[in-house]
A and B are shown apart, each in its own frame.
Chain A
Amino acid sequence: MADARLKSEVGERRPVDRNPIRAWFDVRRDRLGMWAFALNRLTGLGLTLYLFIHLGVLFLLSRGPEAWDNFLQLAKSPFYLLLDVVLIFGLLFHGLNGIRVGLVGMGVAVRNHRSLFWVLIGIGAVLFAVAVYLVFTI
């Protein structure tokens, strides 16, 4: 009965714009949950890209010791080390926010998800600082 009432004669609708850029990265509302969501997507996409780059680098092994040695020279350059820092940030954020999403999804800290986020980010910041120090000193 209720379904019959839903039928409307209003002509053609403009379809929903399902553009992921708009949907996932619209942080105009400036709320923590959405920032966490958007950064999670961004780091997730970045890590996927990294996986392919990593496979490409490993492919160099099949091209002999010289190709690998050349790559190692490149890997010690400041630019490449900076990319390592970006990678570490992505890994830490995605992993730690993933823990938040998993915990909240299991009913832990559902109403305190902001506090949980900041605790995990605090842990992440310490790990990040240590990792960056090690990247540039080892």
Chain B
Amino acid sequence: MTTTDVVTKEITFRVYRYKQGDASPHYDTFKVPCDEWTTVLVALQAIRRDNDPSLTLRHSCHHASCGTCAMIINGREELACVVTVLDLGTDVVTVEPLHNIPLISDLVVDMVPFYEVLNQADRPYVRRSEFMPEAKPPGGIDFYTRYENCIECGACVSACPIKGTSEEYYGPAALAAAWRVIEEPRGRDPKAALDWVDTPDGCWRCHVAYECTEACPSGVEPAEKIMALRRALTRQKLGRLFGRRD
């Protein structure tokens, strides 16, 4: 195929804008020529390069591994790096930051509260069998990335209708992480994880909308993990009721 064969279509991007100090957010519109390969992330980078350098967005890997470019595209949580603009099938593409997470600027949310609760799940970073006793990595082993399906993008938290009204609710990502501790402890204490989720703001707060599972770009299935936590707790409580020891 030569470059002349590439079909481009001008798409209008309606982009959520907010800067610290603004009274309220607004939307700016930009027209971007898109071909069949143009992803939403590439289009937003083009807007930043050609139209408005003040547009802030976050990205890294460009291949759905890092989770940093999660945002709401036409009303759905997506990773902007893997959503092809023309596949959306709309002439106007609306781009917004994730819901239920404090906003820093434009499309960039503050993931600190997300990580604060996620870390409480105490999910191990790497398997104990993978530790190399002779290795002394700078900053310790905890400095390094967790090897899990969850790419910590925040899409599940954004889609969750309960998280939308309750700051205290742990949220799907942290609860799914807690289930991983129970499923595969790797030296952690599964009972502590189960105790941690057994609160009104833990796994019992979920109201089974399954939006987290639908939104997850990485197949973590947080809703199913939350139900697994409930099942484990129900068995534990029934067992105690009939005199069984943990």
Contact = CB atoms under 8 A, between A and B. Distances in A.
A16 B75 CA distance: 17
B13 interface: no
A5 B115 CA distance: 10
A79 B194 CA distance: 52
B208 A16 contact: no
Interface string A105-138: 1110011010000000000000000000000000
A65 interface: no
A16 B167 contact: yes
Task: State which size class the interface on B falls in.
Answer: 35 or more
Nearest to B211: A34
Interface in A24-40: 24, 26, 28-29, 31-34, 36-38, 40
B208 A104 contact: yes
Interface stretch (B31-39, B63-71, B226-234): B226-234
A104 B161 contact: no
Contacts of A104: 208, 227
B161 A34 contact: yes
Contacts of B197: none
A23 interface: yes
CB-based closest 8 A-B pairs: A23-B164, A33-B210, A107-B231, A13-B102, A28-B75, A37-B209, A14-B103, A110-B227
Interface of B: 18, 20-21, 25, 75-76, 99-104, 110, 112, 115-116, 119, 139-140, 142-143, 159, 161-167, 207-211, 214-215, 223-224, 227-228, 230-231, 234
27 contacts: A1-B139, A1-B140, A1-B142, A2-B143, A3-B116, A5-B143, A8-B110, A11-B104, A14-B18, A16-B167, A17-B99, A18-B166, A20-B165, A22-B164, A23-B161, A26-B161, A29-B214, A31-B211, A31-B214, A36-B209, A37-B207, A37-B208, A105-B230, A106-B231, A107-B234, A110-B223, A113-B210
